[in-house]
Structure 1
Amino acid sequence: MDNKKDFLKQIMNDTGKGIKGYMKAQVTLMIITFIILGIGLTIIGAKHPILISAGIAILDIIPVLGAGIVMIPWAVINFIIGNKDMGADLATLYVILVILRQFIEPKIVGKEIGVRPLYTFIATILGSIILGPIGIILGPLAAVIISSIMKTKKKTDNRR
C-alpha cells in the first residue's frame, strides 16, 4: 500500500514541477517575443515599439492566436490604407517571429518541463489536433504526466 502512495506522490511532485516549468517556459517565450518584436518594430519605424512589443508579448500566451491577433490585422489594415511598405514589414516580422517560435518553443518547453523537445512537440501537436487550442497547453502537461509515470515505474521496478 505504501508503494502506491509513494508512486502517486512522485507523479504529483513531477507534475507540479512540470507545471512550474511550463509557466517558466511561457515567461521565457514572452521575453523572447518581446525582444524580437522590440527590435523588429524599432527597425521598421513603428511608433511606440517597446509598448506595442510588451502588449503583443503578453497576448502571445493565448494558444494558436498569440501575436497574430495583433500582427495580422495590423499588417492587413496597413495594406488596405495604402501603406504597403509598413504592411509588408509587419507581415515579414510576424512570419519571422512565428518561424523562430516554432524552432525554439519545443526546446524551451521541453527543457523546462523535463520532457525531450521532440516529445513536447508531438504532445503539443496531438493535443491541438485532439482538443483544439486548449490542447496546446494540455498536450505538454499530458507528456509530463506520462513521463513521470514511466520514470517512477522504472525506479520502482529497479528496486525490486
Structure 2
Amino acid sequence: MNHRLQLILNVLVPILFLLGAFLLLPKLLVFFFPFLLGALLSLLASPLIRLLNRRSPLMKRQHASAVIMILLLALIGFLLYWLLAAGLHFVKLLLRRLPDMAQWLLTSLRALAGERRKLLFGMPDQLNRIIDNLIANSDAYGEELIGRLSSPAFSASLDLVKSVPTLLVYLVVTILSGFCFCKDGERYLKRLRELLPERFRRYFSLLRQDAWKILHGWLLANLEIMALVFLLLSAGFFLLRIPYGILIALFIAFLDFLPLFGVGFILWPWIALELLSQRFMEAFWLLLLYLMTQLVRQFLQPKIMGDAMGLPPLLTLLFLYLGFKFYGIGGMIFAIPLGMLFLSLYRFGAFDKMLDSARELFRELLSFL
C-alpha cells in the first residue's frame, strides 16, 4: 500500500472510530440502561460480597451475592421511599394553599374590575373595550384554561399508568443483571478480554486499573457538590422557617444530581406560587437562595471535580463545557469521567500511531509549500 495512503488511514480510522463511539455510545447506554444499573449495583456490592465470603467460607459466592443484593436493594428502596414521602408531603402542603391562591386571584380580578377606570384613565377607547371584554369573559376563559390543563393532566396520568409495566420490566432486568454480574462478573470480563485483539486487550487491562479511581473521584466530587447544595438550602430554609426544610433540601439536592433536573425544578414553581400568594418577601428570598446555589455550584464545580479526579480546573471546565454543548445538562454529569478515560488512553499510547502519522503528513505538506 502507498506509504502516504497508509499515513492518511492511520489518522482517519481512529478519528472515525472515536466519532462513531461518541455518537453511538450514549444511545447504546440508554438502550441498555437496566444492564448498566445492574453493573453499577454489582460494583457497589462486590466489596461486601468479598468480605462476606472471607467471613463465611462455607457460603458460596452466588448465595453471598443474593444476600448482599437483597440488602442493597432494600437500602436503596428505603432511601427512595423516604425521598418520595418527603416530596409528596411537600406537594400536599402546596395543594392545601391552592384554595387561598384561587381566592386571591378572584379577589384581584374583582378589584381590577372595580378600579379599571382609574387604572386605564387616559387610555384609548379600543384598549378599554378590550380590557372590559377580558374581565367580562374571565369566567369563560377560566373554564377553558381548566379544561386545557386537565386534558394534559389526564393524558399524563394515562401515560403514567401505561408505563408501569415497562418500569416493572426495567426493574426486574436491573435486579437480575445485577445478580448475574455479582455472581459471574469476573468470568464475563475474562471472556471479553479473550475476544479483544492483543492491542486492545492491553489498553483494557490498563483502563481497568484506572476505572475505579475515575469512578471513585467522580462519585466523591458529585457527593461533595450535593452536600454543598444541601447545606446552602438547609441554611436558607432554616432562616425562612420552612417546615421540614431539611427533608426538602435533601430532596432538592438529590434532584440536582440527576440529569434534566436541578434546584430550579423545585424552586422556580415554588417562587411562582409565593408570588401568586402575594408573599413577595418569601419569593425574593427563595430567588436569592436559588441564585446563591447556582453561583456557588458553577464557580466551585470545576475546582471540586478537578481536585477529586486529579484534573486541572481549566481542563475540567473544558470537559464540562463540551458535555453541555453536545448533550446538555446530562452531558455535564458524564463529561468528566469520559474525558478522564480519553486522557488515560492518550497516556497509555493509544493515539501515538495516529499522532506520529499526522506529524509526518504535516511535514510532507510543509515540504510542498
1:91 aligns with 2:283: no
Q: Which of 5-14 and 16-25 deviates more?
A: 5-14
Q: Cα deviations across residues 42-98 of structure 1 (Å, max 9, x unaligned)?
A: 112222221111111111112353111111111111011110000010000000010
C-alpha distance in 2 between matches for 1:152 and 1:138:
22
Q: Cα deviations across residues 85-130 of structure 1 (Å, max 9, x unaligned)?
A: 0001000000001000111111111222222222111111111111
Contact 1:107 1:117 in 2 (8 A): yes
Could you tell me how far 1:144 is from its partner in structure 2? 0.5
1:138 aligns with 2:329: no
In structure 2, the residue matched to 1:128 is: 324
Match of 1:39 among 200, 213, 235: 235
Residue identity opposite 1:142 in structure 2: L
C-alpha distance in 2 between matches for 1:53 and 1:44:
13
Residue identity opposite 1:106 in structure 2: P
Contact 1:36 1:97 in 2 (8 A): yes
Instruction: Count matched residues.
Output: 155
Residue identity opposite 1:8 in structure 2: F
Contact 2:267 2:290 in 1 (8 A): yes
Q: Give the RMSD, CA atoms, in angstroms.
A: 2.2
Residue identity opposite 2:261 in structure 1: L
Whose Rg is larger? 2
1:7 aligns with 2:200: no
C-alpha distance in 1 between matches for 2:312 and 2:207:
18
Contact 2:252 2:263 in 1 (8 A): yes
Counterparts in 2 of 1:94-105, with a 5 A limit? 94-105=290-301
> Structure 2 unaligned runs (5+)?
1-196, 353-369
Match of 2:216 among 16, 20, 30: 20
Could you tell me how far 1:34 is from its partner in structure 2? 0.9
C-alpha distance in 1 between matches for 2:255 and 2:199:
44
Match of 1:118 among 305, 308, 314: 314
In structure 2, the residue matched to 1:80 is: 276
C-alpha distance in 2 between matches for 1:147 and 1:14:
11
C-alpha distance in 2 between matches for 1:147 and 1:64:
27
Q: Structure 2-normalised TM-score?
A: 0.39
1:29 aligns with 2:246: no
C-alpha distance in 1 between matches for 2:244 and 2:334:
35
In structure 2, the residue matched to 1:52 is: 248
SS at match of 1:60: helix
Residue identity opposite 1:148 in structure 2: S
In structure 1, the residue matched to 2:363 is: none
C-alpha distance in 2 between matches for 1:133 and 1:48:
28
Contact 1:114 1:144 in 2 (8 A): no
Q: Give the % identical residues.
A: 26
